[in-house]
Structure 1
Amino acid sequence: MGGRIKARAALAAVGAAVLLAAALTAACSSSDSPTDSPLPTNSPVPPPLAGGYRLAELVSGEALGEAREFKTEVTPIPGVPDEALVTLQTGPIYRVSLGGSFAPQLWGDLSSLVEFDGNEQGLLSLAFSPDFAEDGTVFAYYTPGSPEDTVLSRFQATTTDLDESSRKTVITIEEHDRNHQGGHIIFDRQGYLMLSLGDGGFGGDALEVAQELDRLLGKVIRIDVSEEPYAIPPDNPFVGVEDAREEIFAFGFRNPWRMTIDSETGEVWLGDVGEGMWEEVDHVVAGGNYGWDCFAGLEVWEDDEQCVGKDFIEPRAIYSHEEGLAIVGGFVYRGSEMPELYGWYVYADYVSGRVWALNTADDSEPIQLLQDDFPISSFAELPGGELLIVSYVDGLYQLARDAAP
């Protein structure tokens, strides 16, 4: 995406990537090294064709029935081919056949725990434990409504049903407004839970929490949930740092909506929803500062005392509010049906329906793959690496080519 504007360069005397490489080596293990790609760098496969893709319907909105609207996430069920959980912002969770072999079935219902205000609150994310086959544990992130905090809880479940009575609170995040809760649970390659958190709202990070290391708002946190309620991974970047919350993995986010671990490299990517003009894609590293609310995209947002003398990591890509208004982070494509997209990060905009891809191996400009006419709320990675795209108000779709490249 090129360099920062001069004002940003003035705030960062040394490139953040250089400092992080020296200071945070302990936060990167050998298990995070990329494996050999099936597409070598001299591959004759052409790049993705702009506008050359479509959304192929997997499950229609009509077939989803009561699971049609308010979808925040789709989560494949471990060990059960062609089945997934559809999470509704209102609280219900449905078990769905992606092949249409049965009608959606209610898997669990957290409506009694969740406050949905028609805006950004509600049931925001659900994830299976990496050891689900052995421990039967799932995690949910939601807004209980009173007080206006957000909660990460664990539950016991099977592939066919959730035990709502088994709830145990893992962590409660102190909020100060009813928006910017962020909200995506993933597990890294070491089995640690990562959760993206927004700045808590008010607009413009009014309480200036995203840059403060003693608050969890505006952060990506990383915790060990193999212990109850949780423990701190010893290689977290702020372990032992005075006045810093040791749960923090990275900071300086406004409202990170959908985060992913690249299934091949272990790298973390997310989409951070912007405020005035810019949406951004961030490649997240341990200890990284992604700028909010000193910067929005590539532009200075504030230049007050909290922004002086810090090193910021620029977004991998940005787009303006002429192209969309709310980024939805996706996945790095690792499927086999579209080899030209292999290793490209695919993401979308909730409002405009645009879908883009960027090459994670270089700093080239993103390519717009398609534009549709419905709000895209989330992505899912199917077991074979193909990508499922979720309509907030309609069906489930698979990213596919319009024609051979």
Structure 2
Amino acid sequence: LPTSFAFAGADRIFVTLKNGVVRVIDQGELLNEPFIDISGEVNDVGQRGLLGIVAHPNFPNTPYVYLSYVYDPPEALGHNPEGARVSRLLRLSASPSDPNVHLPGSGVILLGKNSTFAYIGDPDRPEKNPLSCETGDGNYIPDCIANEGHVHALAHLAFGRDGALYVASGDGLNYNYGSLRAQAVDSLLGKILRINPLDGSGYSTNPFYDGNPQSNRSKVYIYGMKHPYRFAIHPTTGELFIGDVGNLKWEEINRARAGANLGWPCFEGENPNAFDPVCKPLLDNPSAVTFGFHTYSHENGWGAVIGGDFYTGRNFPPYYRGAYFYGDFNKGSIQSVVFNANQVPTFADFATGIPGLVQVSSGPDGALYVLSVVTGTLYRIRYVGSNTFKPSSSSTDGASNAPTPTPQPAPSDEVSDEETAAQTASYTGGGSGKILREWWNGVSGKRVADLVNSDTYAGKPAGQEMLSKLDAPRLVGADYGTRIRGYLYPPVTGLYRFWIAADDSG
């Protein structure tokens, strides 16, 4: 399953696979030999895995390749792989004789030197106390990046115009009290980090620098995010455009600068979301939050934003130059955002039919590249004139259809008649998805966060049934499901409304 890709010069693309392998596309050919295989130390349960890659801008003269992944320490062998784990950022050197393979023994841990088994809270159970990378007295272990659940891990990597390496770090778990670490600048979770790409230290120009370049807060650049899975750096202003994947209702694209607080988990979108005392200052003073530049709800198939990239090439019509492109994993589509002279944005559909897209990036050849984890394909969308965008693809697991670009009319004669040479991507499968309802009787207490995993009520439902009216096709892969998490207030009786979101079933 491909999870991310990075350009390394004009003709080379590195592609990460979820299990820990890095493949190489050189001059359009997918090479048989991988750049590296670190699957022996990657935990790829759920949304975990090898999720981010970037090559040094001066590659191969500066032969560094950077990988972000969820780490499985050797001591975790024999423990439940679904239990808590930690994340790392690894720097590798390419071989001097062949830049398509790594130099053995060149690995350097830039982030997560203390992401070790000793600081994992519960290696057998996810999202349980004690939480990972904490001392137990409210303090955080330096250079330790927790991943309590199977979600929101260390992900996207990008170099800025300033030569710094920017790193996306999610909050590391499903929504619960641990999400509040996104508001703590001494935790590395729920942040964009800005570090020196040579040694992983924080810069003295970072907003929370405390005099120690190795401290957690000295590395923090932007905070208060749930899952900043992908982000882009504006090519002229240096401003970050961050796709922060939402919880139950809202997806966000944030425009943020150094020191910005994006509000999670106290806010989702602009809606108050958590009422812990930690959030009270923000709830009382929302002006301290940098709210999303663009937010959209989980309706009509939308539900997981994939932050994109700015188009910096010369191949597309002038209308698109400098435009921002982003995607949505659930919807399988790409949107264009074109700014006029006054920086007023116009949003429009650009491409559809891309199931499970996980990255959108502008390529050095003037094309737009899109990666799908569902089809196992890296797509290239080129403009070939007469308003025709021609897609092509390179698949890691076989042929697949290409996305359908939908050009938008520009305010000139250069783009006029709509035309496309693509097919709509689709996939089919057997089986069906179901929703299981369970109920408990005699629940007491002030609040129960999760009945299924509660020490008191675990595995003891009074009954269960399948809700046949909510059956849905199972499109890809084996049956998989998760129980709805939320707060119950027994013994209040009444009508409860539940929001249920479905992924792509892959």
Query: Which TM-score band applies after superposition, normalised by the shorter structure?
Result: 0.7 to 0.9
Q: What is the aligned partner in structure 2 of residue 382 from structure 1?
A: 363
Shift of the alpha carbon at 1:353? Answer: 0.4
Name the SS of the counterpart of 1:351 in structure 2. Answer: coil
* Corresponding letter in the other structure for 1:155: L
Q: What is the aligned partner in structure 1 of residue 16 from structure 2?
A: 87
Please tell me whether residue 74 in structure 1 is matched to residue 5 in structure 2.
yes
Please tell me whether residue 399 in structure 1 is matched to residue 374 in structure 2.
no
Comparing 334-343 and 120-129, the one that deviates more: 334-343
Name the SS of the counterpart of 2:5 in structure 1. Answer: strand
Correspondences of 1:306-385 after superposition (within 5 Å): 306-310=278-282, 311-322=288-299, 323-336=301-314, 337-360=316-339, 362-364=343-345, 366-385=347-366
* Corresponding letter in the other structure for 2:149: D
Q: What is the aligned partner in structure 2 of residue 149 from structure 1?
A: 86
* Corresponding letter in the other structure for 2:2: K
Q: Contact 1:97–1:104 (CA<8 Å) still a contact in 2? A: no
Q: What is the aligned partner in structure 2 of residue 22 from structure 1?
A: none
Structure 1 residues 266 and 349: CA distance shift in structure 2, 3 A: same
The count of corresponding residues between Structure 1 and Structure 2 is 330
Deviations 1:210-269 (A, max 9, x none): 11111110011111133x3x3221110111399971110000100111112233433221
* Corresponding letter in the other structure for 2:15: V
Please tell me whether residue 110 in structure 1 is matched to residue 27 in structure 2.
no
Deviations 1:114-144 (A, max 9, x none): 1211x21111111112343333221111111
Q: 2:226 aligns with which of 237, 254, 257?
A: 254
Name the SS of the counterpart of 1:72 in structure 2. Answer: strand
Q: What is the aligned partner in structure 1 of residue 201 from structure 2?
A: 231
Structure with higher Rg: it is 2
Q: What is the aligned partner in structure 2 of residue 133 from structure 1?
A: 60
Name the SS of the counterpart of 2:319 in structure 1. Answer: helix
Please tell me whether residue 160 in structure 1 is matched to residue 100 in structure 2.
yes
Counterparts of 1:87 and 1:244, CA distance in 2: 27
Correspondences of 1:184-333 after superposition (within 5 Å): 184-204=156-176, 206-226=178-198, 228=199, 230-240=200-210, 245-310=217-282, 311-322=288-299, 323-333=301-311
Name the SS of the counterpart of 1:366 in structure 2. Answer: strand
Shift of the alpha carbon at 1:293? Answer: 0.6
Counterparts of 1:253 and 1:293, CA distance in 2: 7
Structure 1 residues 284 and 232: CA distance shift in structure 2, 3 A: same
Structure 1 residues 97 and 155: CA distance shift in structure 2, 3 A: closer
Counterparts of 1:276 and 1:290, CA distance in 2: 17
* Corresponding letter in the other structure for 1:396: L
Counterparts of 1:275 and 1:399, CA distance in 2: 31
Q: Contact 2:339–2:346 (CA<8 Å) still a contact in 1? A: no
Comparing 394-403 and 318-327, the one that deviates more: 394-403
Counterparts of 1:351 and 1:90, CA distance in 2: 22
Deviations 1:55-85 (A, max 9, x none): xxxxxxxxxxxxxxx111121122xx33311
Deviations 1:136-175 (A, max 9, x none): 2211111113460000111111421113532121121133
Shift of the alpha carbon at 1:103? Answer: 5.1
Q: Contact 1:210–1:254 (CA<8 Å) still a contact in 2? A: yes
Q: Given the two structures, how large is their TM-score scaled by the length of structure 2?
A: 0.61
Q: Contact 2:8–2:57 (CA<8 Å) still a contact in 1? A: no
Q: What is the aligned partner in structure 2 of residue 33 from structure 1?
A: none
Name the SS of the counterpart of 2:60 in structure 1. Answer: helix
Q: Contact 2:191–2:223 (CA<8 Å) still a contact in 1? A: yes
* Corresponding letter in the other structure for 1:312: V
Comparing 81-90 and 128-137, the one that deviates more: 128-137
Structure 1 residues 278 and 164: CA distance shift in structure 2, 3 A: farther
Structure 1 residues 82 and 136: CA distance shift in structure 2, 3 A: closer
Name the SS of the counterpart of 1:374 in structure 2. Answer: coil
Q: Percent identity?
A: 27
Correspondences of 1:175-186 after superposition (within 5 Å): 175-186=147-158
Structure 1 residues 261 and 84: CA distance shift in structure 2, 3 A: same
Q: Which runs of 5+ in 2 are unaligned?
A: 77-84, 113-144, 283-287, 383-388, 390-405, 408-414, 417-506
Q: Contact 1:73–1:379 (CA<8 Å) still a contact in 2? A: no
Q: Contact 1:74–1:379 (CA<8 Å) still a contact in 2? A: no
Counterparts of 1:252 and 1:396, CA distance in 2: 31
Shift of the alpha carbon at 1:209? Answer: 0.7
Structure 1 residues 325 and 164: CA distance shift in structure 2, 3 A: farther
Q: Contact 1:108–1:163 (CA<8 Å) still a contact in 2? A: no
Deviations 1:184-223 (A, max 9, x none): 1111111111101111113245441111111110011111
Q: Contact 2:52–2:156 (CA<8 Å) still a contact in 1? A: yes
Q: Contact 1:324–1:354 (CA<8 Å) still a contact in 2? A: no
Name the SS of the counterpart of 1:199 in structure 2. Answer: coil
